[in-house]
Amino acid sequence: MAQPRVAVIGLGSMGLGMARSLRRAGMDVVGTDISAERRALFAEAGGAIADSAVAAATGADIVVCVVITGGQTEAVLFGPGGIAGAMPSGSVFVSSATMPPGQARALGLRAVEAGIGFLDAPISGGARAAEAGSMTIMSSGPRAIYDAALPALEAMGKRLFWLGEEPGLGSAMKTVNQLLAGANLATACEAIAFAIRLGLDPKQVDEIISGSAGNSWMWGDRISALVAGDYTPRSAVDIFTKDLGIVMDTARASNFPVPMAGAALQGFLMAAAAGMGREADASVTKVYAQLAGLELPKAAND
């Protein structure tokens, strides 16, 4: 069987890595982004680019849409310049933005009406996993559509999950993951700042926590870096104000209390309010440090 032709819509830090992983797997990839700068980055890496989503989607077997929000995803499909009419019959739309499960469900229903195969397929693992083709992909949608998208999913992800026939389950799973990731990160930021306040050595704290009951994936990825003076953003504060906002909205719509997520969102909102929205998400630590007059580890690249 010939390799499928894949369009990647959105060449941000995730989309660019995913497009490269698809190319590395030998697929015929066309990338596009509203930013000429992002398109140029993919072109520099040898990728084919298109000037519009419609141009990218025309002739594609699989469209991977990796924009930021559900609203943007809806616009890509059904807005002015939307691709719904341009997608070939039998092609599949893989929706990777993080959005409320209800919105993914609604988009799935609307896609069915338009004759488009819709896969609710949020991603996890960050930019490095996107680049390495080792993301976690949490999919839901009709099994036949999942199977049709599988060559692209396998090129982009190492841990692939199919959660059921209904779009929305994938987004529900991502929402749960973001609740955990966001609250564990807010906790990690609080704890490292508190440790410094108590007179402990941050490097020693990191060494101890990394092997103790207080450890988390977020601690290892974000706080170990911060302690080493690496303030490179892996993901921005604004991503968590968005994703924890989705957690809160989804929980409220389900009449379900999520006090840990609520407290975590306040931490990221404090960082955003202090002007750090585009900075590394671990900047919540800086909020505590500023309040309490603490000195954080110096940036290693200063």
Binding site for its own copies (CB under 8 A): 101, 124-126, 136, 138, 159, 161, 163, 169, 172-173, 175-181, 183-184, 186-188, 190-191, 193-195, 197-201, 204-205, 207-209, 211-219, 221, 250-251, 254-264, 266-267, 288, 291-292
The structure tokens listed for 115 are 């004759």
- The residue with tokens 């026939």 is 165
Distant-in-sequence, close-in-space partners of 34: CB < 8 Å, separation ≥ 6: none
Shortest Cβ distance from residue 28 to its own copies (Å)?
30
Distant-in-sequence, close-in-space partners of 23: CB < 8 Å, separation ≥ 6: 29, 45, 46, 47
Spatial CA neighbour of 229 closest among 209, 203, 205, 200: 203
- Helix, coil or strand: residue 218: helix
Nearer to its own copies, 89 or 232 (CB): 232
Nearer to its own copies, 99 or 191 (CB): 191
Nearer to its own copies, 59 or 220 (CB): 220
Shortest Cβ distance from residue 173 to its own copies (Å)?
6
Question: Nearest 10 degrees: CA dihedral of 50, 56, 62, 67?
Answer: 80
Nearer to its own copies, 229 or 262 (CB): 262
DSSP alpha helices (H): ranges in 62-168? Answer: 70-78, 101-113, 126-132, 143-156
Shortest Cβ distance from residue 17 to its own copies (Å)?
15
Active site residue ranges: 174
Shortest Cβ distance from residue 207 to its own copies (Å)?
8
Nearer to its own copies, 75 or 106 (CB): 106
Shortest Cβ distance from residue 234 to its own copies (Å)?
10
Spatial CA neighbour of 137 closest among 119, 155, 124: 124
Q: Find out whether 61 and 38 touch, Cβ atoms under 8 Å.
A: no
Indicate the burial class of 59 (C-beta count within 10 angstroms; 0-12, 13-18, 19 or more). middle
